[in-house]
Amino acid sequence: MGTFDLGVGLAFWLMNASALLCVVYGIIYWNKDKEEKVLERKTWDKNEAKINKDL
């Protein structure tokens, strides 16, 4: 190989940086909305039980 071009080096480092950013983003937002769904489900079950009791 032996030849190093600025474009090749830039593409290499940008590719590595984008892969690292994807990993960091995935770690931060892994289960972000899961807690909201659980809370919605508990509220739904509670309201449904009350409605069924009233019927």
* Residue 41 pLDDT greater than 80, yes or no: no
Average pLDDT score over the chain: 82
pTM over 0.75: no
pLDDT number for residue 19: 98
Average the pLDDT over 26-46 and give the result: 75
User: How far apart, in whole angstroms, are the C-alpha atoms of residue 33 and residue 39?
Assistant: 10
Helix, strand, coil share of the chain (percent; to 5):
80, 0, 20
pLDDT of res. 15: 97
Q: What is the pLDDT of residue 31?
A: 75
